[in-house]
Amino acid sequence: MPVIDIHNHFFPRTWPDLAARYGTPSWPWIKHTEVGKAEIIVGDRFFRQIYSACWDAEVRLNEMDRDGVEMQVLSATPVLFAYERPVDHALDCATLFNDAALELCAQGKGRLKSFCQVPLQGIDAACKELSRCMRAGHLGVQIGNHVGEKNLDDPGIVTFLHHCADESAAVLVHPWDMLAPQRMPKYMMPWTVGMPAETQLGIVAMILSGAFDKLPQKLRICFAHGGGSFAFLLGRLENAWHNHAVAHGICEFPPSQYLNRFFVDSAVFDERALQFLVGTMGTDRVMLGSDYPFPLGEHRVGTLIRSSQFAAPAKDRLLGGNAEEFLDLAREKSSATSEGGSAEPDKTVMPHGEQLTYSSYLKVPELLNLQHSQSSPQHHDELLFIIVHQTYELWFKELLHDLDAVVANLRAAGANPQSRDEVYEAARLLRRCTEITRVLVEQFTILETMLPTHFMAFRGKLEPASGFQSEQFRELEFLCGLKDEKMLRYHRPTAEAHALLERRLREPSLHDVFFDALRTMGKLRFVDKATERERFDARARAVLALYRDERSHRDWIDVCERLTEFDELVVSWRLRHIQLVERVIGVRMGTGGSAGSSYLKLTLDKKFFPELWEARTLLTE
């Protein structure tokens, strides 16, 4: 997997005197001080010391070799954005630097690529320059997180982002022109405090304004410096969203539902911060970004990710795999190949864009290459064993996806008890969950075609891997409300799984959200100092009240029925799993160190929604 750095900067060795060219003051310029060293000056004010890596491809390539970086996507430094100037000046300046970037890339032996910049204060001009740059070979655009008073949710900027999606241009959002400069005059505070806040502001503005709802899914957008303070303060934002109508914005879903709409880079400079960031955003949303070659950048690019505790496949994604997707490199390569001569491009090797095929869309070759046996020579049944487990994991993924949407709908239903739509939608999605779980219960029979002796032939090779380590199964339990913190210990070796499960532990569960909704509807009441038993009884009585007033609460009763059925089916899953275990290994210990089937039998009493069952007892009283 190539290592790709998506956030680093360049400066041309020389450029014209922009102040003289436009007759306006305070333009940046470069002052060479000694061989290989220079200063950026803005007007007559010193801005930053830089060195030859900024303009010399040879120096860059040597340092990339030193750091094991295969490709850099370079962008101008934000001091050149010129958003506060007349559009034609900013456009001219952008053109100058965009062409200079391509000149530098041309000396980069295919390892240097670039993002352009645009005059974002003039949307038409910005769109035109973006289109020109994409044709000329840029991979996307770097934009500032605001244009004067306008945040990224400004309708003009949203139009521009739409255009980026249409042009298949990746977008890197960089903070600039930091807030409250009069309160941060010293100590580089605009960089250390202002920049993270600016970036967070950019993301929050896009979420709450519904910009992500309006923009197409195909928009590929990344926020620099790990997204600033966003990940760390997401909990605060989410809490405000749920509890203050005014903080709600006009987005369709709670903020945490938008994490799959954007990327962030890894420039956070602290392993715990990176772990938290990846735990929050997911391994497929964070990309290597270094801020090279500036003093605030990572000094040995990639060290933070390489020395982290993530498993090798996750590191591969962070170091380059995600960037390949973000930059749509497969498409870029295929268009370069087709431009390279062949009149009739080979459609079968074009995995993206217009030439989409069944196989490229579904990633069939990758999928079929994911079954690696431990037995050697491969035992015939090990393939079945792997495929059955992988299928379960895929369905677990879909269940998590749907249950997260159920949570979002029930939350919205609780926030607006007059509206019925969200309750119907929650019931509809829950029906899908029960149908999937029904399939999961049935699927064990396939594995039961494997003789116990055949399993024994390769079981020894699987230790200490165990179902206890199924991260998604535990996520499902935590999400539905069965939160047993002790189970986290099985995920200690995988930092990202651990962080994700810790997040699920903290977040309100489906159980919480369901009863919160009944509470806001006035169906559920208990005093703050009520004991756990009293609360449980109150919840069961709230459900009872729904069933007793069927005519008014058909929609909520439907949700209750679906939740009950889901609970029932998960118990069936547990039971069928135990039967399979006994059929294959009898009462032997598990590879995860438990007592095997006798341990698993203890889990049969677990229920996600015990109050729904209690209500049935109350109904018959």
Q: Determine which residue in the list 181, 353, 493, 593 makes contact with ligand HEM, applying CB under 6 A.
A: 593
Q: 17-26: long-range contacts (C-beta < 8 A, 24 or more apart)? A: 18/93, 19/43, 21/92, 22/85, 22/86, 22/89, 22/92, 24/85, 24/89
Q: Which of 477, 458, 490 is nearest to 607 (CA)?
A: 477
DSSP string across 258-269: GGGG-EEE-TT-
d(CA 536, CA 609): 10
Q: Determine which residue in the list 104, 581, 612, 615 makes contact with ligand HEM, applying CB under 6 A.
A: 581
Report in angstroms how near the CB of residue 572 gets to ligand HEM at its nearest: 14
Nearer to ligand HEM, 271 or 582 (CB): 582
Q: Determine which residue in the list 285, 523, 541, 577 makes contact with ligand HEM, applying CB under 6 A.
A: 577
Question: Which residues inside 594-613 make contact with ligand HEM, applying CB under 6 A?
Answer: 594, 596, 599-600, 603
Question: Which residues inside 444-473 make contact with ligand HEM, applying CB under 6 A?
Answer: 447, 455, 466-468, 470, 473
Part in contact with ligand HEM (CB under 6 A); list of ranges 11-19, 242-250, 412-420, 590-598: 590-598
Part in contact with ligand HEM (CB under 6 A); list of ranges 41-49, 352-360, 504-512, 589-597: 589-597
> Alpha-carbon dihedral of residues 367, 372, 378, 379, nearest 10 degrees?
-80
Nearer to ligand HEM, 285 or 577 (CB): 577
308 DSSP assignment: S
* 159, amino acid identity: T
Contact present, 223 and 152 (Cβ < 8 Å): no
Nearer to ligand HEM, 235 or 610 (CB): 610
Residue with tokens 């769109």: 127
Nearer to ligand HEM, 424 or 473 (CB): 473
Report in angstroms how near the CB of residue 388 gets to ligand HEM at its nearest: 5
Question: Which residues inside 89-128 make contact with ligand HEM, applying CB under 6 A?
Answer: none
Nearer to ligand HEM, 367 or 604 (CB): 604
Mask 28-57, x = binds ligand HEM (CB under 6 A)?
A: ------------------------------
Nearer to ligand HEM, 428 or 601 (CB): 601
Tokens describing residue 591: 């590879």
Report in angstroms how near the CB of residue 498 gets to ligand HEM at its nearest: 16
d(CA 524, CA 541): 8
Nearer to ligand HEM, 321 or 596 (CB): 596
Part in contact with ligand HEM (CB under 6 A); list of ranges 24-32, 193-201, 292-300, 387-395: 387-395
Between helix 471-480 and helix 495-506 the angle, nearest 10°, is: 10
Residue with tokens 């400079």: 269
Nearer to ligand HEM, 276 or 396 (CB): 396
Contact present, 424 and 554 (Cβ < 8 Å): no
d(CA 81, CA 142): 9
Give SS3 for 248: coil
d(CA 509, CA 482): 9
Contact residues toward ligand HEM (CB under 6 A) are 388-389, 392, 447, 455, 466-468, 470, 473, 577, 580-581, 584-585, 590-594, 596, 599-600, 603
